[in-house]
Amino acid sequence: MVRTTIYLPEELHNSLKHLAIEMRCPMADLLRKAVEESYKLELKDLRAAQKSWKSHLKSPGKAVPARNYFARRIKRA
């Protein structure tokens, strides 16, 4: 895991702190879950692109044209 710093408005910080206490979990867990949920589709696409890139580097001859990739991505959205 990587440590990072973010700045939150005081009211949001206080609300998250109270929510974390009510849910009996660290505020960091709430933030991680919120970020993952907010960017679920984008992260999924990024991971798929990274996997495809690794595959491409192993076998560049099997590459899919970018136009086809983006056409499929638009259809999913």
pLDDT tens, residue by residue, 46-55? 888 888 888 8
- Residue 22, domain member (yes or no): yes
Query: Does residue 30 contact residue 16 with C-beta atoms inside 8 Å?
Result: yes
| pLDDT band of 34, cuts 50, 70, 90 | very high
C-alpha 24/C-alpha 32 separation (Å) is 15
pTM over 0.85: no
Domain assignment present for residue 1? The answer is: no
67 and 44 in a common domain: yes
Q: Can you give the residue range of the structural domain that contains 12?
A: 7-38
